[in-house]
Amino acid sequence: MIFEKLKKTPFPIYLVLLCLVSCTSPKKESEQPEFNPEVFQSFQLSINSERKKFASLIDSIELIPLEETNQSLLTSVSRVIKYDDQYLVINKGDEEIVFFDSEGKYLKTFNRLGEGPREYQSINSFWVQDDLLSIYERKRTTIFNYTLDGNFVDSRKLPTQVGHVRKYGDEYVVEFGINATGDSLFYKFGVLDENLVPKDLYLKTDDISTAVVWSKENSVIPYQDGLLLMRMNSDTTYFYKKGEFEPLIHFDFGEEWYWKNGAILKSEDYDLIETSGQAWDIITRMNDKFIYARAVVAFSGYEHFLIDRSTCEAVRMDLRKDAETELVPYNLGWEDDRWLISMTPDDLLFLAEELGVDLPNTDQISQSENPVLVKVKFKDSSAW
């Protein structure tokens, strides 16, 4: 990996830090320092390492079937936030937000899709802060604010088109993606003040992508008292907290990582990535103890990893159902110490059989078209 210079912080500090907390080689238990979830870590991973069955890593699961009504039919559940004991689910096919209570009972549907000044055309990022529902629409580079009852409050236009954005206190933290800031310079991340004026910019780059690709995965995510920041084609996750921006997690794939001199996608990379057999993008979610990481390999495959941050134990998860099909757990992040995912009823029934557990309301689950939210509690890594 090539470390990029960070604003306010000299490179040698992170080089020393990497040497201190790298997880690329095992240590005896007596040598393990007390774990700090805000200290930089590097993990060595391989897309060719031994697989371990997903079910063998699980201690228990908790189900939240999402009630199916005429107003709550879901095409998929790939983005969810929890707020005040409610699950807000993006129904991507209809660009709407469906509200469920903590047990999955349908509450209401929010939809302001349209082309008017009080309406959004797509939901690229969304969050709730102080009972205000905010939706970022990338096409018009605008944040639309509504009450939780659905009333329009206001809209705010960003100075440039960004990949994803999230409000943090009175600031707005953004992943710039492929566009320049107002001064025609290119940075990968930045912080805007309450008036949406850039105040801090991070990871300056002189090279830009000639292939316009936006990630569907949210790249600005709450963590601890700050935000995790990710970007496409990068093997590093960053952490922003109260004006400080630092690298937090690095995934070391060695020669199995496609990018060697930065990660600027050019048009010619498409054919090269497809035939490389290498990982070129990684999506991750974490809590204080575990990391889930999904590596994108070529354009046709995914490799899934589970990492124990305190012990540095890492496993490549085996999601195969048979020679041709796999389980598809949609990664929704972490809820306390549980990995929150959504699964189709068929996949859930298969997983339950592998776990040897009897599900409540099996007939109801199997007859529903809605995915099921599943909270996964993993075993201690010593049992992996």
> Could you read off the pLDDT of 186-240 as tens digits, one per residue?
889 999 999 999 999 999 887 666 555 677 889 999 999 999 999 888 999 999 9
Confidence band of 16 (pLDDT split at 50, 70, 90)? very low
Whether the Cβ atoms of residue 323 and residue 70 lie closer than 8 Å to each other: no
Q: Starting from the edge strand earliest in sequence, which strands make up the sheet with 164-168, in order?
A: 164-168, 171-175, 186-192, 198-205
pLDDT in tens, 25-82: 445 555 566 788 899 999 999 999 999 999 999 999 999 999 999 999 998 898 999 9
- Burial string for 14-46 (b: 16+ CB within 10 Å, else e) reads beebbeeebbeeeeeeeeeeeeeeeebbbbbbb
pLDDT of residue 185: 74
Residue 182 has pLDDT above 50, yes or no: yes
CA 46-19-264 angle, 5° bins: 55
Residue 243 has pLDDT above 70, yes or no: yes
pTM for the full model?
Answer: 0.89
| Region of residue 225 (phi > 0: left; psi between -120 and 50: alpha; otherwise: beta) | alpha
pLDDT in tens, 254-312: 999 999 866 667 778 888 999 999 999 999 999 999 999 999 998 879 999 999 999 99
Q: Residue 235's closest CA among 254, 252, 214, 210?
A: 252
Roughly how many angstroms between the first and final C-alpha of the chain, as a whole number?
28
Domains in the chain (CATH in brackets) are 11-383 (2.120.10.30)
Whether the Cβ atoms of residue 64 and residue 372 lie closer than 8 Å to each other: yes
Q: Residue 125's closest CA among 223, 233, 232, 220?
A: 220
